[in-house]
Amino acid sequence: MPRCAERTAGLAAVERWILPAACLLCDGPMPAREGDALVCGPCRSRWRAVPDPLCARCGQPAFGDLDCRICAGWPASGLARVRSAVWLAGGAHRAVHLLKYEGWWRVAEAMAEAMAALEPLTGRVSLIPVPLGTRRLRARGYNQSERLASALAARLGCPVRTDLLVRARETTTQTALTPDERRANVAGAFAAPRPVSDRVVLVDDVFTTGATLVAAGVALGAAGAASVEAVTFGRAVEPVN
């Protein structure tokens, strides 16, 4: 190891000894074996995986032969499949809040670990983070979806393509909107500035009704994408319908 690298590693070890790292979710001490992780193993283990069986298209847990009420009204083309890693509750909800609103962008690494085995991420795919509007990007300083996509790319070796999808117009926050209002809010909000031939996977932090992902999928499908799928870290425990 070069001398400068040895010195850096030594300083990091001293820093951990003087100021022991703490988990962002439980404030408990972070074991040295977890390096500079921000979320400890026990907290990650408490994230609740979305259980099978799932709706083939939107990824909502399915019940018998009942039609899925989440994706029944989605357009036939565009977004073909969505999968989410965990329910948006407890520590998982806190992790999203830290990533999205408190500047802890490296928490995306722990979130990507939970997402890496999702089905759309198999094979040769290009990852497309859902783009933020200019105002929100300026206020936040980064796009949380892009941080998630980069963390996934580091694990899986997939390319991240930020050039294939853009915001065509600003939209208001979706948080307090009804499903119909969400669909209207993001209709036509995305555009593909160039032809798309890749098999693409959209990356976002949370799935609630899927309105944003559907609108993005419509734009990519119209641009010629071979297929459009999506992955998110969290899924709303009680989706708005």
CA 129 to CA 203: how far, in whole Å? 5
pLDDT attached to residue 12: 47
The pLDDT assigned to 33 comes to 86
pLDDT at 176: 62
Are 177 and 204 a contacting pair, CB within 8 Å?
Answer: no
Mean pLDDT by 10 residues, the chain (241 residues): 49 48 92 88 97 95 79 92 98 97 95 98 96 90 97 97 90 69 74 94 96 95 96 83 45
pLDDT at 170: 73
By the 8 A CB rule, do 104 and 59 touch? no
Which tokens go with 150? 């980069």
pTM: 0.87
Distance between CA atoms of residues 98 and 103, nearest Å: 6
H helices present in the chain, as ranges: 3-18, 41-45, 90-101, 108-115, 134-140, 144-156, 179-186, 211-222
Contact (CB, 8 A) for 190 and 170? no
**Residue 169: what pLDDT?**
79
Nearest to 38 by CA among 99, 110, 98: 110
What amino acid occupies position 137? L
> What pLDDT score was predicted for residue 28?
94
Place of tokens 């694990």: 155
Number of H helices, E strands in the chain: 8, 6
Residue-level pLDDT at 171: 72
The pLDDT of residue 14 is: 44
User: What is the DSSP code (8-state) at residue 227?
Assistant: E
